[in-house]
């Protein structure tokens, strides 16, 4: 089990309200605010769309500890109103919704909702927040389990896909840089793991105008389009992408669809071979929220079904599983241009911060500041 990560005092986080000048307000990770609003269980109709799990004192302690990002406890109605207000800051600047837990006091009918806000990572770049991070205890899971999540605003970024020197598989085409290309280092915001090897699970792979492996109908697919948007969808087209597609990577069926875990997540064996056959292992996933922004998450001790629940809790309307098992999950952010001071935001002892700055074994994604819609990925 990886240790909990506590944010340093005074580091900036994303506030849950807009500033008076219409820009995104920043608070500080070192300031923890907790407010509890209690009410009788019979008045909680506003919470019917959320799972009802009881958290004991130990689980609540983990939630509070993992939430040293600045915690706000409020009603889910108030949280929903705040998130709606945030989305109205600007049609071009959407922000991630807080992640909330419903907590019922043991032996009572009283409850509260505790919400965590995201922390901005890319403040160095001089633009509206584009990459935000969060650590949290997933609803209903064992005490001590921490999920590591990252939100990426697609309207301001280029999602690049790169081959490794082995992954996704054998090809006669040029493999490209097999690392973050030097031409993109000045705009590099984040890097993270991709999906399975082709030999383990056949899936389509298209990047830099090259179809390395044909797209398969019915598989979950992350797609970047020429208009600058990104989608996660169940592929309904043919083996080759159309002219509006810049990048496509497939992996297994959809994990989440219409904001719900897909029925196939009940069959854990369909979601990849696990280390020593354990059903619950490190898993990672990529989802999309209602505003079209990407959300990455990784967590230990996850089945396919529990990982799907993590993505639902992160407000994903659709999501796909990425790589699994302890060796592969990784999300890296950078403290400045030129890939300055890379940091492992998923505390995986099998990974190093500079992983994708030199030739990588497996394929991976990289996130760059965009210069405009349809901006080609660095190569």
Q: 162 with 113, same domain? A: no
Task: List, for residues 234-266, the tens digit of each pLDDT value.
Answer: 999 999 999 999 999 999 999 999 999 999 999
Provide the terminal-to-terminal Cα distance of the chain, rounded to the nearest Å: 37
> What pLDDT, on a 0 to 100 scale, did the predictor assign at position 110?
84
Distance CA 36, CA 31 (A): 17
> Does residue 95 register a pLDDT over 80?
no
| Gap between the Cα atoms of 123 and 29, Å rounded | 14
Residue 66 has pLDDT above 50, yes or no: no
Q: Are 207 and 274 in the same domain? A: yes
Task: Give the model confidence (pLDDT) of 261-316 as tens digits.
Answer: 999 999 999 999 999 999 999 999 999 999 999 999 999 999 999 999 999 999 99
Q: Could you tell me which of 328, 303, 356 has the C-alpha nearest to residue 160?
A: 356
Whole-angstrom Cα distance, residue 260 to residue 315? 10
* Domains identified in the chain, total number: 2
**293 and 244 assigned to the same domain:** yes
Place of tokens 């006669």: 172
Query: Is the pTM for the entire model greater than 0.75?
Result: yes
pLDDT score recorded for residue 112:
87
Task: Identify whether residues 113 and 237 lie together within a single domain.
Answer: no
Q: Are both 208 and 335 inside the same structural domain? A: yes
Centre a 10 Å sphere on the Cβ of residue 379 and count the other Cβ atoms it contains.
14
* Mean predicted lDDT score pLDDT of the chain: 81
Does residue 7 belong to any structural domain of this protein?
no
Domain identity same for 227 and 165: yes
* DSSP code of residue 307: H
Residue-level pLDDT at 74: 33
Per-residue pLDDT of 140-191, as tens digits, reads 999 999 999 999 999 999 999 999 999 999 999 999 999 999 999 999 999 9
Residues 194 and 337 in one domain: yes
Token reading at 161? 């896909």
User: Which is more confident, 74 or 139?
Assistant: 139
DSSP 8-state symbol, 305 = H
On whether residue 82 sits in a domain, the answer given is yes
Asked if residue 341 is part of any domain, the answer here is: yes
Residue 365: is it exposed, middle or buried by C-beta count within 10 angstroms (0-12/13-18/19+)?
buried
Q: How confident is the model at residue 124 (pLDDT cuts 50, 70, 90)?
A: confident
On whether both 315 and 255 belong to a single domain, the answer is yes
Confidence label for 105 from pLDDT (cuts 50, 70 and 90): confident
SS3 110: strand
Judge whether 170 and 342 are in contact, CB under 8 Å.
no
Residue 75, domain member (yes or no):
yes
21 in any annotated domain? yes
C-beta atoms surrounding 278 within 10 Å: 10
**Domain with 283 in it:** 154-369
């Amino acid at each position: 089990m990886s240790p909990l990560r506590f944010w340093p005092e005074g580091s900036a986080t994303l506030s849950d309200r807009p500033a008076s000048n219409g820009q995104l307000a920043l608070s500080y990770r070192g300031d923890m605010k907790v407010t509890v609003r209690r009410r009788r269980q019979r008045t909680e109709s506003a919470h019917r769309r959320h799972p009802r799990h009881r958290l004991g004192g130990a689980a609540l302690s983990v939630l509070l500890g993992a939430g040293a990002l600045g915690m706000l406890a409020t009603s889910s109605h108030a949280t929903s109103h705040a998130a709606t207000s945030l989305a109205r800051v600007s049609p071009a600047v959407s922000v991630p919704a807080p992640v909330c837990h419903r907590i019922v006091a043991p032996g009572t009918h009283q409850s509260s909702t505790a919400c965590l806000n995201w922390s901005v990572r890319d403040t160095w770049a001089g633009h509206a927040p584009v990459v935000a991070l969060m650590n949290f205890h997933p609803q209903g899971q064992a005490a001590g389990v921490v999920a590591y999540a990252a939100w990426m605003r697609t309207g301001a970024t280029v999602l690049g896909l790169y081959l490794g020197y082995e992954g996704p598989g054998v090809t006669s085409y040029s493999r490209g840089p097999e690392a973050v290309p030097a031409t993109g280092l000045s705009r590099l915001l984040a890097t993270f793991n991709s999906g399975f090897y082709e030999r383990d699970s056949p899936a389509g792979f298209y990047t830099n105008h090259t179809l390395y492996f044909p797209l398969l109908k019915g598989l979950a697919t992350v797609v970047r389009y020429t208009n600058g948007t990104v989608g996660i969808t169940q592929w309904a087209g043919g083996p080759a992408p159309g002219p509006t597609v810049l990048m496509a990577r497939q992996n297994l069926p959809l994990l989440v669809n219409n904001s719900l875990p897909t029925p196939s997540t009940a069959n854990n064996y369909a979601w990849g071979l696990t280390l020593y056959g354990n059903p619950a292992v490190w898993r990672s996933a990529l989802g999309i929220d209602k505003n079209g922004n990407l959300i990455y998450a990784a967590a230990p001790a996850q089945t396919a079904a529990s990982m799907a629940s993590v993505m639902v809790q992160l407000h994903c309307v659709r999501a796909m599983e990425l790589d699994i098992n302890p060796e592969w999950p990784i999300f890296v952010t950078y403290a400045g241009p030129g890939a300055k001071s890379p940091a492992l935001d998923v505390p995986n002892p099998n990974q190093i911060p500079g992983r994708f700055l030199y030739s990588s074994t497996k394929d991976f994604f990289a996130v760059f500041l965009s210069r405009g819609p349809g901006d080609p990925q660095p190569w």
